[in-house]
Amino acid sequence: MIPLVGSAPTIPRHRTAMSRPELSRPLRLALDTGLIEKSSGVFDYGCGRGDDLRGLEASGIRCFGWDPVFCPTGQREAADVVNLGYVVNVIEDPHERAQTLHEAWHYTHKVLIVAARLSVDTRGAHHQPFNDGYLTQRGTFQKFFTQHELRDWIDTTLQVRSVAAAPGIFFVFREEGLRQSYLASGYRRPVTLPRTSQRSTLFERRKELLQSLISFVATRGRLPDAAELEEAVTLCEVFGSLRRAFEVVQSVTGKEQWAAIQRERSQDLLVYLALERFRGRPRFSVLPRALQLDVKAFFGTYTRACEAADRLLFSVGDMAAISAACQEAACPPSVVPGLSAF
């Protein structure tokens, strides 16, 4: 990324590099949503002064970065997650801007994070128009996007369907299954874990081992497949099966709270499928395996799940259904027939 010279002014892009006491918002979002895990490798493309790298390292995340000014000898290698945070908006040449996006995408194994400044940031500022952006009072360049413009530019340039994570922040997934998994997780509401109300010697003795199973069922609303849980083999050796292990959990917590969690997770799945109709509902075969198992556990088949999702979507225009829902809102939900996750 060499500044333009000649008839155009030299743009000191390095002056836009900011020092931050904490992780930038794009990377914080990726961490909070689980896109960056302890096992992930992160490449910060255009890492500036390296504050994000230090923050990731402090969290135990393997990371590396490159910057044309502050870290020109840094490694440029493929990684699970590539962060292109607030880089494209400081490049004054549209062709080079697109080339930079392509290069970052080239290094991406799983997800590319793209962040840029939005038009709302120009309020009250005195900037001089230059190319398709502005020159600031410091002599730096800024391209201010609208949210729609940024999404359209990313999608058109890379021929992808990016996902808006926040204003000015988009995630671009290498595989459609990863994209669908992320979208579905966005509709999964937080739940409170059921409390133990009875005593069980077996539960107390194996409580630590059972925690992973408890967390999984609370998250997905169903029992895991053996391949989904690292402790599955040990649980089966101790209890005979995952179902029997969970029966021990239910014996001390009761079944009612778990049934409520099951209903909520099935509804979360329906909301995801209903809204995906607007974007083009994915084929069952492209869904990640965890979502496929969710569908089978709650609805039996994908066809039934989509039909239920359509009924939910169309009920938005059903005034009678809305009125009934409002009247029942304060009442405990009834058992949803047909659910068999447990």
Query: Cα torsion at 228, 234, 238, 242 (round to 10°)?
Result: 0
Does residue 78 lie in a domain region?
Answer: yes
**Same domain for 214 and 164:** no
Q: What share of the chain is helix, strand, coil (3-state, %, to 5)?
A: 50, 15, 35
Select from 93, 101, 9 the least CA-distant residue to 46. Answer: 101
**Same domain for 18 and 167:** yes
Does residue 122 lie in a domain region?
Answer: yes
Side-chain-side CA neighbours of residue 143 (13 Å): 23
What's residue 124's pLDDT? 56
In the chain, the amino acid numbered 287 is L
**Same domain for 208 and 117:** no
Does residue 94 lie in a domain region?
Answer: yes
Domain final position from 174, 192, 212: 174
Distance CA(236)–CA(24), nearest Å, equals 43
**Same domain for 168 and 19:** yes
Does residue 271 lie in a domain region?
Answer: no
What's residue 41's pLDDT? 95
Domain that holds residue 215: 201-253
Which residues partner with 171 through β-bridges? 113, 163
Does residue 38 lie in a domain region?
Answer: yes
CA atoms 223, 226, 229, 231: torsion sign: positive
**Same domain for 216 and 155:** no
**Same domain for 152 and 18:** yes
Does residue 320 lie in a domain region?
Answer: no
What's residue 255's pLDDT? 93
Domain final position from 174, 190, 225: 174
**Same domain for 237 and 123:** no
Neighbours of 79 (CB within 10 A): 23
What stretches in the chain show pLDDT beneath 70? 1-9, 14-15, 17-19, 123-126, 330-342
**Same domain for 231 and 132:** no
What's residue 121's pLDDT? 75
Where residue 132 sits, what CATH number does that domain have?
Answer: 3.40.50.150
> Which residue pairs, CB below 8 angstroms and at least 24 apart, start in 30-34?
30/81, 30/83, 30/111, 30/113, 30/165, 30/171, 31/59, 33/165, 33/182, 33/185, 33/186, 34/185
What's residue 193's pLDDT? 86
**Same domain for 220 and 118:** no
What's residue 275's pLDDT? 95
Domain final position from 253, 274, 290: 253
**Same domain for 146 and 33:** yes
**Same domain for 206 and 120:** no
Question: Using one digit for the tens of pLDDT, what is the confidence trace for 72-131?
Answer: 999 999 999 999 999 999 999 999 999 999 999 999 999 999 999 998 877 656 677 878
What's residue 334's pLDDT? 44
Number of folded domains that form the chain: 2
**Same domain for 167 and 27:** yes
In the chain, the amino acid numbered 156 is T
Q: Taking the complete model, does pTM exceed 0.95, yes or no?
A: no
What's residue 131's pLDDT? 83
Element (H, E) at 3: none
